[in-house]
Amino acid sequence: MPAPTISVRGVGKSFEGNAALADVDLDVRPGTIHALVGENGAGKSTLGKILAGVHQADTGVVRLDGNSVDPASPREALALGITIVAQEIALVGTRSVIENVFLGSEVTTGPFVRTAALRRRFEALVAETGIDVDGDATVDQLTIADQQKVEILRALARRADVIVMDEPTARLATHEAEALMRIFDGLRRAGTTIVFVSHFLEEVLGISDQVTVLRDGRVVADGAASSFTPASLIAAMVGRTLDAAFPPKRIVPEARTAADEAPAPALKVTGLTRSGVFEDVGFEVRPGEIVVITGLVGSGRTEVLRAIYGLDTPTAGTVEVDGKVSRTGSPRASIAEGVALIPESRKTEGLFLDFPLVANVSLPHLRRFTRAGLVRAKQVARVAAGAMEDVGVKTPSPEAPASLLSGGNQQKVLFARALLGKPRLLIADEPTRGVDVAAKRQIYDLIAAEAARGSAVLLVSSEMEEVIGLAHRVIVMRQGRVLGELAGDDINESSIAHLAFGQTTKGHHYVD
């Protein structure tokens, strides 16, 4: 067996007195894919960032090819041949894709960048990897999935010997993730070493050579990927076996009014259009029902949610909440109508990362706690702390900044904020993105409980299992239009995929 490329011994790391890693030992062999798995907060991303120079270990030693190293920055790590694709996007939004991919490694003549040479390098990189993104597009104009591709291209452009991939597929659709796994395999065959942090256990077992499981900052299992199953990984991660991945689906009540007419849907969307983005979108969500919008990245799913909530202004169509035309145009109006949104990106759209958790949870609801223009701070703190406890947020203090929490706990903070308002309509865009299997089940239980309370629930999801496991009905979009609607036994992978890729099959309800 070859000597390890990376050897970690006794590494520990704490943040503000809270231990993220404790006495970690790890060996990563050259030319392998070594997966790090664990619950949110287990320390796997912290370990990856220590290897890549983002953080520095408090104790222990890291050796690269037998030599002790302690990179003080990502630049120093890159000089050693190590780079990282971080979980959170870190691109220059106002610059082009090509400029971002080669930022810091431009081809120059004197003070001038040789743009033609950069373009040739970019085209060669795209041809080599199969990751196709418009090189001239401004990053801010891209979807999150395409921004993730730019991050990966930037790492690959640096020709590092070791690449830390921190949740690289979390923002990708299934077929895009499969394509990335093929790229990983090609890199491995070429001799690149990959440290792969992921919550997708099937993905981990399908591509990795070695798996290390962390729990509460310590290594609790380590071995060849072939020696694990998804169930054994989960048991090691959480210290116990989990029940079924999804709560049982409730039957949506068919309540009737005194006139024996079906009650108004909680949400009714008719002819909703935003020119150049989506067109003639229409569907309903009943109280107690979970409806999931799915489709390929770029199909318009997120944009429809944004228009319903009032973040973007539609050019045509109507949105009705509880039978009344919604005052679309602002989130404030939506909140007043009992609509809550959990956005796609918790970092850029969901949380004030430097603000205390109490402030993040209570911000949309402060009017409830205000008298004579003064906020009753003690009541706010008590109610917000209770809301976080109800959804299972793990935090050292309700006054801690949101940035200190793991991704899964940050996601639960968004649920605490949304559910504190007891919404009649809960909207969530990719509600479990970047969340481990145990936290996923907790979030699924929250969603199911909210539907059982009588709220209408509208989700966007790219995860096929999630769509099938949660939805009472599925709306499939493609290229800005609703292509079909599935219910009951028609909610299956084959039917969803046929619609998402623009194919048709008899026996389903399709929209002309």
pLDDT of residue 244: 66
pLDDT tier, 504 (very low <50, low <70, confident <90, very high otherwise)? low
Tokens 């202004």: give the residue.
313
pLDDT tier, 57 (very low <50, low <70, confident <90, very high otherwise)? very high
pLDDT of residue 260: 53
Beta strands in 161-257 (DSSP E): 162-166, 193-197, 210-215, 218-224
pLDDT tier, 510 (very low <50, low <70, confident <90, very high otherwise)? very low
Is residue 477 within 8 Å of 302, Cβ to Cβ? no
Q: How far is CA 294 from the centre of its chain?
A: 15
Beta strands in 202-315 (DSSP E): 210-215, 218-224, 267-274, 278-285, 290-295
pLDDT of residue 443: 93
Mean pLDDT of 249-269: 70
Please give the Cα distance from 59 to 54 (Å, whole number): 16
pLDDT of residue 465: 85
pLDDT tier, 80 (very low <50, low <70, confident <90, very high otherwise)? very high
Percent of the chain scoring above 90 in pLDDT: 53
| pLDDT tens string 15-27 | 877 789 999 999 9
pLDDT of residue 16: 74
Please give the Cα distance from 453 to 287 (Å, whole number): 9
Tokens for 438, please give them: 């145990």
The pLDDT of residue 506 is above 50: no
Structural domains of the chain, ranges and CATH numbers in brackets: 6-238 (3.40.50.300), 243-338+423-512 (3.40.50.300), 352-421 (no CATH)
- In the chain, what is the straight-line distance between the N-terminal and C-terminal CA atoms, in Å? 60
Tokens for 244, please give them: 């079924």
pTM for this prediction:
0.68
Closest CA to 309 of 327, 284, 296: 327
pLDDT of residue 251: 80
Helix (H) or strand (E) holding 147: helix 144-157
The pLDDT of residue 252 is above 90: no
Beta strands in 237-389 (DSSP E): 267-274, 278-285, 290-295, 316-321, 324-325, 339-342, 370-371, 374-375
The pLDDT of residue 509 is above 70: no
Please tell me the total number of residues recorded for the chain in this structure.
512
Q: What's the mean pLDDT when you consider all of the chain?
A: 88
pLDDT of residue 208: 97
**Is residue 181 classed as helix, strand or coil in its secondary structure?**
helix
pLDDT of residue 289: 95
The pLDDT of residue 143 is above 80: no
**Is residue 452 classed as helix, strand or coil in its secondary structure?**
helix
Is residue 282 within 8 Å of 488, Cβ to Cβ? no
| Least confident range of 204-218, 251-265, 401-415, 452-466 | 251-265
Tokens 């060849």: give the residue.
224
pLDDT of residue 328: 57
pLDDT of residue 15: 86
Tokens for 397, please give them: 């203090």
SS (H, E, C) 13-64: EEECCEEEEEEEEEEECCCCEEEEECCCCCCHHHHHHHHCCCCCCCEEEEEE
pLDDT of residue 290: 97
The pLDDT of residue 168 is above 60: yes
| pLDDT tens string 193-203 | 999 998 888 89
More confident residue, 505 or 300: 300
pLDDT of residue 147: 85
The pLDDT of residue 228 is above 90: yes
pLDDT of residue 507: 44
pLDDT tier, 261 (very low <50, low <70, confident <90, very high otherwise)? low
pLDDT of residue 383: 94
pLDDT of residue 29: 96
Please give the Cα distance from 337 to 331 (Å, whole number): 10
Edge-to-edge strand ranges of the sheet holding 339-342: 339-342, 425-429, 456-460, 290-295, 473-478, 481-487, 509-510
Mean pLDDT of 119-127: 91
Mean pLDDT of 277-296: 94
Tokens for 497, please give them: 């995929």
The pLDDT of residue 254 is above 70: no
pLDDT tier, 231 (very low <50, low <70, confident <90, very high otherwise)? confident
Q: How far is CA 290 from the centre of its chain?
A: 20
- Bridge-based pairing of strands 374-375 and 425-429 is unpaired
Mean pLDDT of 154-160: 84
Task: Return the ∠ at Cα 342 (arms to 287 and 471), rounded to 5°.
Answer: 45
| pLDDT tens string 28-51 | 999 999 999 987 778 999 999 999
Is residue 473 within 8 Å of 289, Cβ to Cβ? yes
| pLDDT tens string 422-448 | 999 999 999 998 787 778 889 999 999
Sign, CA dihedral 159-165-171-174, equals positive
Is residue 428 within 8 Å of 460, Cβ to Cβ? yes
Tokens for 50, please give them: 């220590």
Is residue 440 within 8 Å of 239, Cβ to Cβ? no
pLDDT of residue 110: 79
| Least confident range of 110-114, 161-165, 504-508 | 504-508
More confident residue, 358 or 257: 358
Please give the Cα distance from 220 to 414 (Å, whole number): 30
Q: For helices 230-238 and 437-452, what crossing angle results, to 10°?
A: 90
Tokens 């949304």: give the residue.
418
Tokens for 202, please give them: 């099937």
Task: Return the ∠ at Cα 246 (arms to 241 and 250), rounded to 5°.
Answer: 140
Q: How far is CA 365 from the centre of its chain?
A: 25
Helix (H) or strand (E) holding 75: helix 74-79
Mean pLDDT of 198-220: 92
Mean pLDDT of 384-390: 94
Please give the Cα distance from 456 to 466 (Å, whole number): 17
Tell me the one-letter amino acid at 192.
T
The pLDDT of residue 508 is above 50: no
